[in-house]
Amino acid sequence: MRIVLRIRRFDPSIDREPRDVDYPLDAELTERILDALIRVKDEQDGSLSFRRSCGHGVCGSDAMIIAGVERLACKTLVKDVARDEGAVVTVAPLRYLPVQRDLMVDQSVFFQKFRSVKPFLVNDEPVAERERIQSQVERAAFDDPTSCILCGACYSACPVLEAKPGYVGPAALVQAARFVFDSRDRGFPRRMSVLDNPDGAWACDNHFNCTRVCPREIKVTKTINAIKRAITKAKKGSA
Ligand code: SF4
Ligand code: FES
């Protein structure tokens, strides 16, 4: 089937503004958009820039806005976004992060926010036995957030960041939840200044866009609301 990839291009050395460029190509309905992009780069314009690594939805490096929605290019098939002969499929970089070139964004702020929630196990207590024992129920309490691949799709889809660029964002909150709800972790008080903050969990307005676009089907909004409840409970406990 003939399709057109309309790709948002931006080369900071020559462009003052991003521009959309059309790349017509023949594609199978079952072809991945990532493969179509690679073919455009190989066959039509070698300067086209985008990130990818694993090609299988694991590394999170090829999140971009395809047909107006945040998706992983390696997990999006042509048939997901184009049905008719000649269909135009728009491809653009994620929002709220500076574009380095074409579909590549500068992820520095995204990862600064990720690091701000202390996304690691905090526990200074001596280990009683050889390991910190955890029941299956306790392990299940933080299973969902462990699927996060830090792709940034939820961050780009969140309308709150439009008005509040300081918002730590859904991905960082999911990563915080990975440890907040881990029975072995003691770091909640140290994370409170970031989480219990107008730019922390409370900035979430429950738009659910994050949950809709997450390629790992993490219940992002539900997780953020669980953090809000944990903050309230902790503050009641210390009152
Ligand atoms: S929560 Fe989902 S959408 Fe957000 S960074 Fe993690 S995997 Fe990507
Ligand atoms: S290339 Fe790794 S998630 Fe798509």
pLDDT, average across residues 70-85: 97
For ligand 2, is residue 35 a contact (CB within 6 Å)? no
User: C-alpha distances in angstroms, 117 versus 36, 45, 195?
Assistant: 37, 40, 7
Q: Residue 113's closest CA among 92, 96, 90? A: 96
Residue 156, Cβ neighbours under 10 Å: how many?
27
**pLDDT(85) > 90:** yes
For ligand 1, is residue 224 a contact (CB within 6 Å)? no
For ligand 1, is residue 153 a contact (CB within 6 Å)? yes
Measured in angstroms, how far is the CA atom of residue 170 from the centroid of ligand 1? Answer: 8
Helix axes 170-180 and 108-116, enclosed angle (nearest 10): 30
CA 198 distance to own-chain centroid: 21
Check residue 127 and give its pLDDT. 84
Q: Using a CB cutoff of 8 Å and minimum separation of 24, what contacts does 105-108 make?
A: 105/152, 107/152
Phi and psi angles of residue 82, each rounded to the nearest 5 degrees, phi first: -145, 125
pLDDT one-digit tens code per residue, 1-59: 999 999 999 999 999 999 999 999 999 999 999 999 999 999 999 999 999 999 999 99
Nearest-atom number in ligand 1 for the CA of 151 is 8
pLDDT one-digit tens code per residue, 195-215: 999 999 999 999 999 999 999
Check residue 130 and give its pLDDT. 85
Q: How confident is the model at residue 239 (pLDDT cuts 50, 70, 90)?
A: low
For ligand 2, is residue 37 a contact (CB within 6 Å)? no
For ligand 1, is residue 216 a contact (CB within 6 Å)? yes
pLDDT, average across residues 58-75: 98
**pLDDT(224) > 90:** yes
Check residue 237 and give its pLDDT. 80
Determine which residue's CA is closest to atom 5 belonging to ligand 1: 150
Return d(Cα 135, Cα 119) in angstroms, integer. 22
Return d(Cα 16, Cα 13) in angstroms, integer. 9
Test site for ligand 2: of 50, 61, 66, most ligand atoms within 8 A of the Cβ: 61
CA 167 distance to own-chain centroid: 14
Q: Do 48 and 7 touch, CB atoms closer than 8 A? A: yes
Measured in angstroms, how far is the CA atom of residue 215 from the centroid of ligand 1? Answer: 7
Do β-strands 2-9 and 19-26 pair in parallel, antiparallel, or remain unpaired?
A: antiparallel
pLDDT, average across residues 189-199: 97
pLDDT, average across residues 86-111: 98
For ligand 1, is residue 227 a contact (CB within 6 Å)? no
pTM: 0.96
Check residue 169 and give its pLDDT. 98
For ligand 2, is residue 232 a contact (CB within 6 Å)? no
Q: Do 89 and 148 touch, CB atoms closer than 8 A? A: no
Exposure string (b/e) for 25-38, b if CB count within 10 Å is 16 or more?
bebeeebbbbbbbb
Half-sphere exposure of 186 (CA within 13 A, CB side): 6
**pLDDT(76) > 70:** yes
Residue 128, Cβ neighbours under 10 Å: how many?
8
pLDDT one-digit tens code per residue, 167-176: 999 999 999 9
Mean pLDDT of the chain: 97
